[in-house]
Amino acid sequence: MSEVCKEFAIDKEAVIKKGMKKNKARDMAIYLSGNHSGITCKELGMYFGNVSGTIIQWPIRNGDELTSPTMHHSFRPSLPDFKVQKS
C-alpha cells in the first residue's frame, strides 16, 4: 500500500475510500493485494471501504488493463518482474 501511495502521490485514505470512479491507485492496490497476498476478495472488500468481494474482483481479474501503457509510468517497468516472482 505504501508503495502505491508513494508512486501515485496519494494518501492511504484516498486509496481505500469507496465510491471514487477510475481511481487507478486504488485499482492497482487491489490488483497487487489480490494477486500477491493470499487475502480473499471478501477480506479485501472489507479493507477497501467495506465493499463486496464482487467489486474487488474487477481490478484483480483485469490486471492487463492496469498494466497497459496508459497506467502510471513508474509501475509499468516493474510489474512484469513482479508477475514472474509470483510463479
Specify whether the CB–CB gap between 86 and 35 falls below 8 A.
yes
Coil, strand or helix: which one is 83?
Answer: helix
CATH code of the domain occupying 2-75: 1.10.1750.10
Band of the pLDDT at 27, cuts 50, 70, 90?
Answer: confident
Higher pLDDT, 61 or 7: 7
**Would you kindly state where each structural domain of the chain is located, as residue ranges?**
2-75
pLDDT digits (tens, 9 = 90+) for 28-82: 888 888 888 888 889 988 998 888 888 888 777 777 676 665 555 455 445 444 4
Confidence at residue 54, expressed as pLDDT on a 0 to 100 scale: 83
Specify whether the CB–CB gap between 63 and 31 falls below 8 A.
yes
Q: What is the pTM of this model?
A: 0.68
| Integer Cα distance of 75 and 77 in angstroms | 6
